Amino acid sequence: MAAQEPTSKGRRELAAIRARNSHFLILAFIFSVFVNILMLTGPLFMLQVYDRVLGSRSEETLVALVVLVAALYALMGVLDYARGRILARYGARFQSALDERVFKSGLEPRKAGDQTALSAARDVEAVQAVYASPALTAVMDVPFTPLFLAAIFIFHPMLGWVATAGGLILITITFLNQFTTRRRTKEAQIAAERANQFREHALQASDVIRSQGMVDPVTTRWLNHRVTALKDSISTADVTGTFSSVSKSLRLFLQSAILAVGAYYVLRGEITAGAMIAASILLGRALAPVEQLLARWPQIERARIGWASLMEFLSNDVEETPQTRLPQPTAHVSVNGVSVVSPLDREPILRSLSFEVKPGEALGVIGKSGSGKTTLAKVMLGLAKPAAGEVRLGGALLSQFAPDDLGLHIGYLPQDPMLVDGSIAENIARMALQPDSEAVVAAAQKAKAHELITGLAKGYDTPVNGNRVPLSGGQKQRVALARALYGDPVLLVLDEPNSALDMDGSEALNSAVRTLKAEGKAVVIMTHRPMAISECDTLLVLDKGRITALGPRDEVLRSMVKNAGDVQQVVAKKGTS
């Protein structure tokens, strides 16, 4: 039972979302009842025309019947349209209930290889599409199939048995279709997802691919993914199409068969010609929902897979609970015994790190690539949770701050200064819906980016589209630095901040660090470039996730130079011996 509990949690959440808007389904089903009752209009009209109008040759009766039938069909059309719009809105509400959560969850750190959050949005759309399609109306019409079959029995038992046998065969075909295509549909979906992910990654690395002569091999690999996905999709469509064609042919044959059987009993005088025609129409109506379900089966199966994936997603996703808002913390950072392990191989990345950064101080974290600098930055930002130890800001654990509140207190400049679709001003203002123009300009000035932004044709209103912006890598990094400084954060974390900066950019960075220190803020700089640590008061040296040196900048540098000199002397002695 414990193993099934997570899935049960997701099932309960989806059931709760569905139940909140269940009145839409109830109303649509009530309309379905009247729509299906009004479907009897055609057979009853045929009965009256063949058995009464033709027999009495009364034109007045024919006109009255036509007027009545026109009114009933008009009413049926209105009700059918209404239930379709109701179900579409039900699907829209289902999507709206999950869209925000799915999007925010996709921004959260995930386990390596976990694609659940990435595909959850498409799963929501697949379920919503079924609600808005004729597939759900067909599902609501299926329960009325026995009603139409029972009406055929009224005309003649043999007609009823022929219709029932045909209906059972079609239902059997439907279940065979479901059983046969379930695995194929899932494989086709996985292959399509793999192809889409490969394409997205290739587009993100388009500059590298083009500059390194990788266009042809990468294109070939993508085409291989696409061919695999296409083969699986065609294979699934072939099977579904076979069942759909068989069911359509069978339904048409059954309508002809019931006419033949009906004609036989007309000749024997057991039923009227009107009953024969009415039975044929009723059979078509009884089997139409089954055939429609077969035609829509790929869409239904995709929604079924999406529903199962959403159950898994909701089971694994932890919904945020409201937290007590803490006041702005002091610029005092303490890291106590922090250890982090890799989610892939469970190997330690950081090992029992302990240090502190006081207000008005700048700490430089240096070390080789792979020493754990970026991981430490993510831990201090609350993006990675340590396996042991804790990080406090102003005396409070990072987990005690609401995520959005913590982001207001910490400025972050990553190695890759990605910009989001919007304007430069909106990016600096951290995509605020109503950017504070004065704060935006102040942050840009503090980052020494004001002049380069105003030098653009549209200035701060210059659009950023898919991280494409008329700025060099260094200029983009200064805009990202302005974003990190926006809102007066108490802690600034810089990860390789001058990797793309020229001399002017490095001086602007150092100026910003000096300003923050003078304001009593804390700064942590992860780097391996000497220029970036010129404003640091303290240095921390990382090697394979361990602290190998920690102290005043000049003392640590002298120690490193002395150690390097000692090593060189040992090497020189070995060379002369």
SS3 annotation, 494-539: EECCCCCCCHHHHHHHHHHHHHHHHCCCEEEEEECCHHHHCCCCEE
* Distance, CA of 577 to CA of 335 (rounded, Å): 47
Residue 491, token pair as written in the block = 């802690």
Structure tokens given for 103:
């999007």
Q: Under CATH, which number does the domain 333-576 receive?
A: 3.40.50.300
Q: Which two tokens stand for residue 440?
A: 């935006």
Structure tokens at 481: 């630095």
- Yes or no: say if 401 and 394 are a contact pair by the CB < 8 Å rule: no
DSSP assignment of 413-467:
E-SS----SEEHHHHHTTT-SS--HHHHHHHHHHTT-HHHHHTSTTGGG-EEBTT
Residue that has been written with the tokens 């002017």 in this structure: 504
Pairing state between β 422-423 and 463-464: antiparallel
3-class SS letters over 46-115: HHHHHHHHHHHCCHHHHHHHHHHHHHHHHHHHHHHHHHHHHHHHHHHHHHHHHHHHHHHHHHCCCCCCCC
pLDDT-derived band at 572 (thresholds 50, 70, 90) equals: very low
**Confidence band (pLDDT; 50, 70, 90) for 569?**
very low
CA separation for the pair 289, 143 (Å, rounded)? 9
Predicted confidence band at 577 (pLDDT cuts at 50, 70, 90)?
very low
3-class DSSP state of 546 = strand
What is the per-residue pLDDT for 8? 67
Average pLDDT, the chain: 82
Identify residue 160 by its one-letter amino acid code: G
Q: The dihedral of CA 501, 503, 508, 514: what is its sign? A: positive
Q: With a cut of 90, say whether residue 71 has pLDDT above it.
A: yes
* Tens-place pLDDT, residues 353-380: 999 999 999 999 998 888 888 889 989 9
| Residue 218 clears pLDDT 90, i.e. is over it | no
Q: What is the DSSP string of 276-323?
A: HHHHHHHHHHHHHHHHHHHHTHHHHHHHHHHHHHHHHHHHH--PPPP-
Classified as helix, coil or strand, 574 is: helix
The answer to whether the CB of 407 falls within 8 A of the CB of 483 is: no
Which SS3 state, helix, strand or coil, does residue 375 take? helix
Taking only the tens place, the pLDDT of each residue in 511-561 is: 888 888 999 999 999 887 766 788 898 999 998 889 998 999 888 888 876
Give the residue, 518 or 112, on which the prediction is more confident: 518
- CB contact burial 104-114 (16+ within 10 A = b; e otherwise): ebeeeeeeeee
Q: Which among 344, 316, 403, 404 is positioned nearest to 117, based on CA atoms? A: 316
* Per-domain boundaries in the chain: 1-133+300-318, 143-295, 333-576
Quick check: helix, strand or coil at residue 403?
helix
Cα–Cα dist 135/302, whole Å: 12
Residue burial 77-100, b: 16+ Cβ < 10 Å; e: rest: eebbeebbebbbebbebbbebbee
Q: Quote the pLDDT of residue 571.
A: 31
Give the distance, in angstroms, between the CA of residue 29 and the centroid of all CA atoms in the same chain: 31
Cβ count within 10 A of residue 5 = 9
CATH of 143-295, one of 2.30.30.40, 2.40.50.140, 3.40.980.10, 1.20.1560.10: 1.20.1560.10
Q: Which of 288-292, 312-316, 443-447 has the highest mean pLDDT?
A: 443-447
Q: How far is CA 394 from the centre of its chain?
A: 35
pLDDT tens track for 138-162? 888 888 888 888 888 988 899 889 8
Place of tokens 């008009």: 74
Contact 163, 279 (CB under 8 A): yes
| Rg of the Cα atoms in the chain | 35
